[in-house]
Amino acid sequence: MDYNHELEKLIAKHSMRKASFLNRWSQLDSHDVVAIWGAGEHTRILLDMVSLCDKNVICIVDNDPQRIGTEIEGLPVYHPSQINELGIDTVVISSFVYAEAIMQEIQMRFPQLHCLQVYTEYEPNPITDPWKLYYDLQHLNKEYRTANDESIKERFLWELICAYVEIRDFELAQEHIALYAQYKFPKADLLLRFKDELNVLLDQLKSDLQNRKQKDISLFVIDSLRADDLYDSQELRMPRTHGLLEHSLIYTNVHTTSTYTKAAVNAMLTERLMIDDELYLERKIDANHSNLLKFLSQERYLLINFSGAFEFVEVEAARVHNVYRSTRKTKIKKQWPTATIIWNYFCTLANNKDQPIFALIHSLDVHFPLVCPYHSKFQDLRDASRKFYTEQFYFRDHKEQILFQRNECLSYIDRKLHDFQQFISSPHITIICSDHGESLGENQSFGHLFSKNTSVTHIPLVVHGISRQPQEIGKLFSMKFFGAEIVSLLTGQPAVPAQNEVMIQRDPIYSTEIHVDGFTAFVDPRILQGFKIVRGQADSYVLYDDGSEEYYSIKDESANLAADTCYSERIDHLRAIAIKAGFPYKGE
């Protein structure tokens, strides 16, 4: 059965299409002179929902003489007869009840105008930016919650349910269908029928997937997930996933190889380091350099990459599938939301009954700007995402909201991982890890790209479904050897030995925006240089590409002990490891 096709039929049958006005608003030409038609409550909601900063909205028009000459949010209200003298190019129809009558009036009196209706359903565009979509969801959720008019509340709740269905988050869709039914809104019976038919389809999909005999492998790379997010038993941020640990192999002393996604994932798959092996010169992950991907290809696995941050160079053209084809300008955002990825992965499993599948599932839900499909208390942090690299005190001033929102994102991905496990078969192997962690104020740092803290380098690694006794593995382990470790687990060969030290590397940052915004006024400018961290069990040595160095005890990463002669011998040992391959981009 083609489950996605069946779902689309079900959506069409019950007219479960989201109007997605915000998508159409974003496509307005910034040079067009725009007027909003309608000076009622809908327009006040509209102005709260959209950004006018890059749109040339000059006024509101309305036929009500009592509203002419007033202002709404600083926009003057004119009579429609003034449209031509104002030089209007586009009219946004902001009315629910009178939308059709307004459209007819415009077509008769102003046929030259382009019209954009707030309340018109249309076929949604392909999803390419999960964060933008998540912000749209938060706008819909806010308007539904705050609307006083019952017709407006119903409309936004309907749109919100359709939006959840669009991203394939059926759990949130069904929760909000229940709310819709509690309000006894007009389409409650239709939505309840949709819910029943959806559950029949999902039950059939679950049955098909649980009957699979193939040893499929899912690699979840949860962007910016810290080790303590998953392992801290005192403060359970991901309780459902934490419950999985007692049935899994848990690596508790794992460190990433770099502080940003592309470098970290490339290294974990190809066993090469960002600086030493000059990965900074490569834009794609060469699967031919990956022992793990080559092994899986030889075992006849279909290799699927669900990340928009990087692309696989194919081992065999028929056996590698990059879901998103990147370009030179492709950013990490260009991919589906997590729920959409999981749904499409399930459909792929159902359509390939006789072939094992390896899927890399990259989730952005815990990555800044910390927005997911549902928040009980939400603040738009997009401006902050530009500031926190340049204004290091932003986190101090907004710490409570940032941590609250991040915990809700952790709760959301926890639910998604739990739901995923309910569908898969017993031979299925699930691997959960991160590309890098995140500093949350430790030593006055925030984020990951510009931090050397253990909170950034220490990441979780959980392997569930392997034919091994559940075990906690405390060896010091670099994700450079991730592929070798997984192959050893799959084949029964000896595991990768514990390392005495692990290496974390980051190439230089040349972005002119950072310098223009005054980043170096707030932090040590050396953080923009390339650096290597040699991490031991209890200490950390940092070598910058200008030759300067730092040395820390893990117990106190705020005190640089490089000048302390008590540690000279240890520093000499770690320095020798760091300088072995030099910094190739400096001609060394």
- Helix (H/G/I), strand (E/B), else coil: 563: coil
Q: Of 30-39, 50-59, 203-212, where does mean pLDDT reach its minimum?
A: 50-59
Q: Are the CB atoms for 482 and 217 separated by under 8 Å?
A: no
Q: Helix, strand, coil: what percent of the chain each, to 5?
A: 45, 15, 40
Residue with tokens 């509101």: 60
pLDDT at residue 225 tops 60:
yes
- pLDDT tens-digit map of 370-414: 899 988 888 877 655 555 454 455 666 778 888 999 999 999 999
The reported pLDDT for the residue numbered 512 is 60
Distance CA 457, CA 52 (A): 40
Contacts of 45 (CB under 8 A, 6+ apart): 143, 147, 152
Both ends of the chain: CA-CA distance in Å? Answer: 58
pLDDT for position 126: 43
- Give the pLDDT mean for 514-536: 75
pLDDT at 22: 62
CB 129 within 8 A of CB 334: yes
Residue 388, by phi and psi: left (phi above 0), alpha (psi -120 to 50) or beta?
Answer: alpha
Contact 525, 533 (CB under 8 A): no
Q: Is the pTM of this model over 0.95?
A: no
Q: How far apart, in whole angstroms, are the C-alpha atoms of residue 540 and residue 550? A: 8
The answer to whether residue 522 scores a pLDDT higher than 70 is no
- Angstrom CA distances, 580 to 123, 539, 576, stand at 57, 19, 6
β-bridge partners, 539:
553
Pairing status of strand 439-440 against strand 446-447:
antiparallel
Give the pairing type, strands 502-506 and 531-535.
antiparallel
- pLDDT band per the 50, 70, 90 thresholds, residue 211: very high
In tens, the pLDDT along 420-452 reads 999 999 899 999 999 999 998 887 778 888 888
Confidence of residue 328 (pLDDT cuts 50, 70, 90): very low
> What are the φ/ψ torsions at residue 442 (nearest 5 degrees)?
-60, 130
Whole-Å CA distances, 348 to 2, 80, 274, 485, 499: 9, 53, 33, 27, 38
Could you report the per-residue pLDDT of 404-416, keeping only the tens digit for each?
Answer: 999 999 999 999 9
* Residue written as token pair 């794609």: 284
Q: Rounded CA gap, 235 and 97, in Å? A: 50
Place of tokens 């391959």: 581
523 vs 274 pLDDT, higher one: 274
Tell me what pLDDT residue 455 has.
Answer: 94
In 3D, which of 574, 492, 515 has the Cα closest to residue 540?
Answer: 574
Instruction: Reduce the DSSP state of residue 69 to 3 states and report it.
Output: coil
The helix (H) or strand (E) run that includes residue 488 is: helix 482-491
The yes-or-no verdict on residue 327 having pLDDT over 80 is: no
pLDDT band at 587 (very low <50, low <70, confident <90, very high): low
pLDDT at 588 exceeding the cut of 70: no
SS3 445: coil
Specify the range with the lowest mean pLDDT, choosing from 107-121, 131-145, 262-276, 475-489.
107-121
Distance between alpha carbon 203 and the CA centroid of its chain, in Å? Answer: 28
Give percent of the chain with pLDDT exceeding 70.
87
